[in-house]
Structure 1
Amino acid sequence: MTEPSATASVEVGVDPATAFEIFTEEIDLWWVRGPINFFDAARATAMQIEPGVGGRILEVYSPPDDVLELGTITDWTPGALFAYRSSVDDTETRIDFEAYDGGTRVTVVQSLVPGGEKAFYFWPNVIHWLPAWVERRDHASRTPRELDRLAIALYYEDPAAAARWLHTIFGLDSWDKIPAEGTDPSWIELQVGTRAILLFKLTEKRTAQLDHSVWVYVDDLDAHFAHSQENGAKILSDIHQHGYRCYEVEDLEGHQWTFAQARPTMA
C-alpha cells in the first residue's frame, strides 16, 4: 500500500525571502546531477521552475519545447509558500519557508491526493541538497556542477555503514548526504571532486581476493595518513615516494585504497 505522505525539513542560513528565491530561481544549481535524480538522466540538461501560479516545474531536455512537465504550480507566495500538483504521479507537494533561529526552516510535504495510487516520494531526499548550495553559493560558479564520465562502483555487505566509515576515516563526501545510522538507502553516491564512487549491496559471497585499488588525490597526504592511522584503518604501506607520494590502506570490508599527494594545479 502506498504511504499517504512523506515529509522532511532542512535549515538554511538565509532569510525566508532569499531561501524562496534560491529554491525556485536556482534549482538548476542546487539540484544534484546524479544518474538517478532525473526521470530521463541520459537526456536531461537542466531543471527549471516557471514562476507564478500556473507555472510549470520542468525537467529540460532540449529547450524550449523538449521538456518533461513534473507539475503545475498551485500556490506561489514568495518568502512563504510554494506548492504544485504533480504531472507524473498522484501527489501534491507543499514547501513552506519559515523564519527560524536567524535563518529559514524549509519544510516539504509530498502527499497522495484522494483516490490516488502512484507516488514518487523524491522530495524528502531532494530537499537535503539545498543547504549545501546555500552554504557555498557566494563563492561558487553559476555553472551547474556536473559529474565526470567515469565513476567507480564498489560492493559492500553494508553499503550505508561503509559510506559512514569512508566519510569519517577517509574524508570522502557526498553531493547528496551520508546515510544516517539505521537507514538503508538503495543508492549511495560519494564524490571525489566531480567523480562519483557508487556503493552497492554485495549480494553474493566474495569468492576471490579483491583485485583492485581506488586512487584518490588529497591536498595534505601527511594529515590524511595520520587521521587514517589514528582512527584504526589498516595501513598497508607507510607514505613512500616513486615520483608521486602515496600510502596504501584497507577500508572496513577489505577494499584497497591508495591516497596520493595532489599537485597544486589539480582542481
Structure 2
Amino acid sequence: MSSVRASVVVPVGAEAAFRMFTAEIDAWYVRGPHSWVDPERAVGIRFVDGYLRELWSDGGHVDTGRVLTWEPPRRLVWADLLNDGSMEIEVAFTPVAEGTEVTLEHRGLDTLPPAVERRIRKGYSWNIALGWFASACRTSCAPPAC
C-alpha cells in the first residue's frame, strides 16, 4: 500500500498530545476553504461517536473518517470516508526527550487519481496540519498540566 509520512515533535507528554490531537482538534484545526468538505457550512471538527466529523452551521455534518483504532495515548487510526474508506490515516504518539514525536502516516494513496496522489505524496497538507497542531501545543499547554 502506497503511503506518505509526516512528523513533528511537540513539547508535551504523550497523554497531553493525544488529548489535544483528538478531544481538542477543533481548537487547532485551521479553518479555510481548502480544509473543509463544505466550506460554506463548516463550523467545526470533532472526533465523536467513532467518527471524525465536520460540523455544519445548519446542524448537519459529514463524517470524514471512521475510527478503526483508539489507543490513548499511543495510537489512533481512522479510515478516510471521503474516498470510500480505501485509505487510512494513522497517528502515533511516541515519548521522546523533548516531549512527544507525533508521526502521521497516510496509507492507500495508490487508490487515488494520480494527480491527487502526487499532491498528497509531497506531504504538503499533512505537514501544514501537523504544524498547526505543534503551534497549538506550544502556545496552549504548559507544564505541569502537560
Offset of residue 135 of structure 1: 1.3
Could you tell me which residue of structure 2 aligns to residue 116 of structure 1? 111
Which residue type is aligned with residue 87 of structure 1? Answer: L
Q: Give deviations 1:51-74, integer Å, cap 9, x for gaps.
A: 6xxx0001110475x111111000
Larger relative contact order (Cα-Cα within 8 Å, sequence gap ≥ 6): 2
- Check whether the contact 1:108–1:124 (CA below 8 A) recurs between aligned residues: no
Offset of residue 138 of structure 1: 4.3
- RMSD over aligned Cα, in angstroms? 2.3
Could you tell me which residue of structure 1 aligns to residue 10 of structure 2? 12
Q: Distance in 1 between matches of 2:102 and 2:28?
A: 14
Match of 1:125 among 117, 123, 128: 128
Which residue type is aligned with residue 19 of structure 2? Answer: E
Alignment identity in percent?
27
Offset of residue 36 of structure 1: 1.5
Q: Distance in 1 between matches of 2:126 and 2:108?
A: 13
Q: Distance in 1 between matches of 2:61 and 2:30?
A: 18
Q: What SS class does the counterpart of residue 92 from structure 1 fall into?
A: strand
1:137 has 2:136 as partner? no
- Check whether the contact 1:12–1:104 (CA below 8 A) recurs between aligned residues: yes
Could you tell me which residue of structure 2 aligns to residue 151 of structure 1? none
Offset of residue 37 of structure 1: 1.4
Could you tell me which residue of structure 2 aligns to residue 56 of structure 1? 51
Q: Distance in 2 between matches of 1:15 and 1:138?
A: 10
Q: Give deviations 1:105-138, integer Å, cap 9, x for gaps.
A: 000000117x723567343431221111111114
- Check whether the contact 1:84–1:94 (CA below 8 A) recurs between aligned residues: yes
Q: Distance in 1 between matches of 2:66 and 2:58?
A: 18
- Check whether the contact 1:6–1:124 (CA below 8 A) recurs between aligned residues: no
1:84 has 2:78 as partner? yes
Could you tell me which residue of structure 2 aligns to residue 98 of structure 1? 94
Unaligned runs of 5+ in 1: 140-267
Could you tell me which residue of structure 2 aligns to residue 24 of structure 1? 22
Q: Distance in 2 between matches of 1:43 and 1:63?
A: 7
1:74 has 2:68 as partner? yes
Matches within 5 A, 1:227-246: none
Q: What SS class does the counterpart of residue 58 from structure 1 fall into?
A: strand
Which residue type is aligned with residue 63 of structure 2? Answer: E
Q: Give deviations 1:169-217, integer Å, cap 9, x for gaps.
A: xxxxxxxxxxxxxxxxxxxxxxxxxxxxxxxxxxxxxxxxxxxxxxxxx
Q: Distance in 2 between matches of 1:124 and 1:4?
A: 18
Q: What SS class does the counterpart of residue 132 from structure 1 fall into?
A: helix
Aligned length: 132
Unaligned runs of 5+ in 2: none
- Check whether the contact 2:10–2:98 (CA below 8 A) recurs between aligned residues: no
Q: Distance in 2 between matches of 1:58 and 1:38?
A: 11
Q: Normalization by structure 2: what TM-score?
A: 0.81
Q: Normalization by structure 1: what TM-score?
A: 0.46
Q: Distance in 2 between matches of 1:96 and 1:127?
A: 12
- Check whether the contact 1:92–1:112 (CA below 8 A) recurs between aligned residues: yes
Larger Rg, first or second structure (1 or 2): 1
